[in-house]
Chains A and B, each alone.
Chain A
Amino acid sequence: MSSREAKAILLGEDEGNVRKNSDKSVASQYAPLSRVSVQEGYMETQGKYNEKERSELRILMLGNAADCAETVQHELRQNNIAFVSEVVDTLESFVKALQEFSPDVVVSDYLLPAFDGLAALALVREQTSDTPFILVADAGGGLAVEFFKEGATDSVLKSRLGQLPAVFQRAVSDRDERRGRGRAEKEQKRLAEAVGTITEGVAIISSELTIEYVNHGLCRMTGYTSEELLGKSIGIMMGNGRDAGCDTVWERAAAGNVWAGRFSYKRKDGIHIIHETTVSSLRDGSGTLTGYVAVSRDVSHEERLERQLRQAQKMEALNTLCGGVAHYFNNILAVIIGFTELVADHVEKGGRDEGHLRRVMEASIRGREMVRQLLAFSRKAEQKKLLFLSTMVKETARLLRATAPTAIRIRVRTAGESGPILGDPTQISQIFMNLCTNAVHAMREKGGVLDIEVSDFSVSPSSENDHGMEPGLYAKLVVRDTGIGIEPGIIDRIFDPFFTTKQVGEGIGLGLFVVHGIVKQSNGYITVESEPGRGSTFTVYLPVGER
């Protein structure tokens, strides 16, 4: 590089005369020092800028301090300190050098020809807050106080420049230490911010199982504030050890294993959630247990989906079985019914044999009814469509009115429906038919009123309900009769397969079982209330437009 280029940035004390000093014996890779090499040297280390990796001390001297340069260099050499130095004396070149030369230490006089030392100090503090600034002071100079007030790092008497190497080193190592501390603090802050921000709940638990730290995620998950959780037993999170095997969590974690499991948990606001938690032990340097760290994730949604999947798979298997059995059974019944008819053509009318054959026929018809109910199960999901209960209910009522005894009044009320449900038309009408058939049956002797109602029903996430219903919109179907009612002793069994109070030939005990199965398949709910002698009310909730 030419000296003209160097002049552009490094104005020496004498106008146009660039002085650039380097200890060639120690920092030989920078010799001869040039602007380019300084810059490249800086550029090279810019990415991994680290004081410890920079072997040379980079000294920027200002104005009159430059007079001491020879002495300083001599002293540094004596102390075997590798260095690179630059001398500037105008404001412009100083600013430039601060940025481009990136000094480890700035040495300045009180007064400079072009601007004063205090201004230089202010610039240093403004641009690099922690670069050591060393004042070269005349003996007894009271101005030094002012420099220290403005953030000068140290001062050395002009008469004792021999102290400079030691002062430099101390200043730089102080700076490095401060930087290291700052970095560690920054890292810790970042880490704390990260833990604070994540959606997973994090808790630090003492070895006595009290909560020492909770992050925001955990508060959000549990509905408690951190004040409410801190100092409390971890039981607040893990159900007070009620969950099976809870004690082993801590035992296992204390033994050095990571424990992972799921807990069912009631939030402060009463919402039930399932959280998946891993617990690991925390130890001090000597390996002594100091506590635990628990990381929790709300898996209620996954749990719900898994449960639905399991349920769907179970139903799928049942469907296949029912479908297959039903088909074969229908063919067998067809043969029985067919041949019975053929024989009946030839037996004596009104005779004993005809009566016997009629029994065979009736039994076969019962078998056919049973298969018809079973087939309601063996429906494929593809057959589902969006259905409005109110429309279907009216159709069912029309059929019922045609067949039910006249002493039974049928009333239909459809009061608003949030939306269509996704269901299989055959299955859904099976629900109506089975419930209504039972209702009519319960009133067949004394007559009464059959009320069929369709309305909408909403379950909010925070609402408590006895059936553990998932939040969402439902279409609600109520079938109410004023019939004989259900005895309390058997009400728990009415949805069981083959349970019936009807006479042989009147029912086979599959009606409510099938209703229950279809409702469950549709992710719905069914409830029953009944009073013997007064009547029964069945309520079905089917999710609106689900899946």
Chain B
Amino acid sequence: MKRILIVDDEPDFRFSAGIALRRAGYSTEAVADGAEALNLIQSEKERSLFDLLLVDIQMPCLSGAELIDELRKRAIDTPVLIVSGFADATLQDEFLKKGCTAFLAKPFEFQVLVRRVDEILKTRHSAAIPD
């Protein structure tokens, strides 16, 4: 089962997105900011990596952008799907340049989110086959 880490400071979003993704067959965990996410990812490193990070941009401790920089520094290349209330083309470009896999502007319907997550993980899976 694919594991998804939800990184968002909004508890209601963490909670509801978690339900929606689990109903779609994923296993989820959730943290409230980038710092917690980084700790969890590092402690998990020995066991199994998350398959996808669902990351908000604006968070109190270690923002979305900072988290991505930290991950890249540590050579962790887990795919990142940015979910943000800032629906802005320039911002989107900026994050995609940073190496994020996709950008989804809040608010969205969960069926859209699930479809996007499916796409990313499928893409990654099929791309991984030749290796």
Complex alpha-carbon distance, A342 and B110, angstroms: 8
Chain A contact residues, majority secondary structure: helix
* Distance between Cα atoms of A383 and B94 in the complex (Å): 12
Indicate if A336 sits at the interface (CB-CB under 8 A): yes
Which interface residue of A331, A379, A383, A426 has the most chain B CB atoms within 10 A? A331
A334 and B106 contacting across the interface, CB-CB below 8 Å: yes
Among candidates A330, A331, A342, A379, residue contacting B19 with C-beta atoms closer than 8 Å: A342
Kindly list chain A residues whose C-beta atoms are within 8 Å of the C-beta of B106. Answer: 330-331, 333-334
List CB contacts (< 8 Å) of B47-103 with chain A.
58, 83, 85-90
Q: Which of A368, A375, A426 contacts B107 (CB 8 A)?
A: A368
Question: B83 contacts which chain A residues (CB < 8 A)?
Answer: 334
A96 to B: closest C-beta gap in Å: 84
The chain A residue with its CB closest to the CB of B9 is: A331
Q: Smallest Cβ distance from B18 to chain A, in angstroms?
A: 10
Q: How far is the CA of A425 from the CA of B19 in the complex (A)?
A: 37
- Interface hits, B105-129 → A, CB 8 Å: 105-111
Q: Is the pair A338, B110 in contact by a Cβ cutoff of 8 Å?
A: yes
Judging by beta carbons under 8 Å apart, are B23 and A345 in contact? yes
- When distances are taken between beta carbons in the complex, the residues of chain A under 8 Å from B19 are 342
Q: A327-B58, A341-B110, A342-B20 are in contact. Are A334 and B13 (CB under 8 A)?
A: yes
Is B16 an interface position by the 8 A CB rule? yes
**Cα distance, A218 to B27, chains bound together (Å):** 81
Residues of A with C-beta under 8 A to B107: 330-331, 333-338, 364, 368
Q: Does B12 contact A (CB under 8 A)?
A: yes
With A and B bound together, what is the CA distance between A375 and B84 in angstroms?
13
Q: Complex: how many Å from CA A331 to CA B59?
A: 12
Interface flag for A115 (CB, 8 Å):
no
- Inter-chain contacts of B17 with A (CB < 8 A): 338
A363-386: which have CB < 8 Å to B? 364, 368, 372, 375, 379, 383
Q: Is A328 interfacial (CB 8 A cutoff)?
A: yes
A339 within 8 A of B: yes
Question: Across the interface, do A426 and B89 meet the contact criterion of CB distance under 8 Å?
Answer: yes
Q: Once the chains bind, are B13 and A335 in contact (CB under 8 Å)?
A: yes
CB <8 Å contact, A372 and B90: no
Q: What 0/1 pattern do residues 326 to 364 of A give for CB contact below 8 A with B? A: 111111011111110110010000000000000001001
Partner of A335, one of B16, B89, B109: B16
Query: What does the 1/0 interface line of A385-406 toward B look like (CB < 8 Å)?
Result: 0000000000000000000000
Chain A, residue nearest B114 (CB): A341
Binary per-residue interface labels of chain B (12-42) against chain A in the complex, 1 for a CB within 8 Å, 0 otherwise: 1100110110010000000000000000000
Instruction: Tell me if B10 counts as interface (CB < 8 A to partner A).
Output: yes
How far apart sit A425 and B92, CA to CA, in the bound complex (Å)? 14
Bitwise interface map of A from 32 to 60 toward B, beta carbon under 8 Å scored 1, else 0 = 00000000000000000000000000000
With a CB–CB cut-off of 8 A, which chain B residues contact A383? 90
State whether A328 touches B85 (Cβ < 8 A): yes
**Contact between A338 and B85, CB atoms less than 8 A apart:** no
Q: Contacting B20 at CB < 8 Å: which of A328, A331, A336, A341?
A: A341
Residues of B within 8 Å of A379, CB to CB, are 88
- Asked whether B13 lies within 8 Å of A331 as measured between CB atoms, the reply is yes
**Nearest B residue (CB) for A339:** B16
Are B88 and A426 within 8 A (Cβ)? Answer: yes
Q: Are B85 and A331 in contact (CB under 8 A)?
A: yes
- For residue A396, give the distance in angstroms from its CB to the closest CB of chain B: 15
Give CA–CA (A328, B86) in the complex, Å.
9
Query: With A333-B106, A334-B108 in contact, is A339–B12 under 8 Å at CB?
Result: yes
Do A327 and B20 have beta carbons less than 8 Å apart?
Answer: no
Given A338-B110, A341-B111, A364-B107, A331:B10 Cβ within 8 A = yes
A383 CA to B92 CA, complexed, in Å: 13
Residues in chain A near residue B89, CB distance under 8 A: 425-426
Closest CB in chain A relative to B112 CB, distance in Å = 10
Q: Are A338 and B87 in contact (CB under 8 A)?
A: no
A336 to B13, CA, bound (A): 9
Residue on B nearest A345 in the bound complex, by CB: B23
Looking at B16, B106, B108, the one whose CB has the most chain A CB atoms below 10 A away is B106
Indicate if the CB atoms of B12 and A335 lie closer than 8 Å.
yes
Which of A334, A336, A383, A425 gathers the greatest number of chain B CB atoms within 10 Å? Answer: A334
Q: A375: which B residues are within 8 A, CB to CB?
A: 87-88
Asked if residues B10 and A341 are in contact (CB atoms below 8 Å), the reply is no
A387 to chain B, nearest CB (A): 13
What is the chain B residue whose CB lies nearest that of A330? B85
The docked-state distance in angstroms from the alpha carbon of A341 to that of B17 is 10
Q: Which residues of B contact A330 (CB under 8 A)?
A: 85-87, 105-107
CB distance from A524 to the nearest CB of B (A): 21
In the complex, what's the smallest C-beta–C-beta distance from A366 to chain B, in angstroms? 12
- Give the complex CA separation of A335 and B16 in angstroms: 7
Name the contact of B16 in the complex, choosing from A327, A338, A426 (C-beta under 8 A). A338
Q: How far is the CA of A379 from the CA of B87 in the complex (A)?
A: 11
Q: For A337, give the chain B residue with the smallest CB separation.
A: B107
Instruction: Give bound CA distance, A333 to B109, whole Å.
Output: 10
Interface residues of A in 161-189 (CB under 8 A from B): none
Q: Which residues of B contact A333 (CB under 8 A)?
A: 106-107
Q: Max chain A CB contacts within 10 Å: which of B20, B85, B87, B88?
A: B85
Docked Cα-Cα span, A342 to B86, in Å, equals 24
Q: With A334-B10, A338-B110, A339-B16 given, can you name 15 additional A-B contacts, CB distance below 8 Å?
A: A327-B86, A330-B87, A330-B106, A331-B13, A334-B13, A334-B106, A334-B108, A335-B12, A335-B13, A338-B107, A342-B16, A342-B20, A342-B110, A368-B107, A383-B90
User: Can you list 29 contacts pairing A with B, beta carbon distance less than 8 Å?
Assistant: A327-B58, A328-B85, A329-B85, A330-B85, A330-B86, A330-B107, A334-B10, A334-B13, A334-B106, A335-B12, A335-B107, A337-B107, A337-B110, A338-B13, A338-B16, A338-B17, A338-B110, A341-B20, A341-B109, A341-B110, A342-B16, A342-B19, A342-B20, A345-B23, A368-B107, A372-B87, A375-B88, A383-B90, A425-B89
Nearest 10 Cβ contacts at the A-B interface: A330-B85, A334-B107, A338-B16, A333-B107, A334-B106, A335-B12, A327-B85, A330-B106, A331-B85, A341-B110
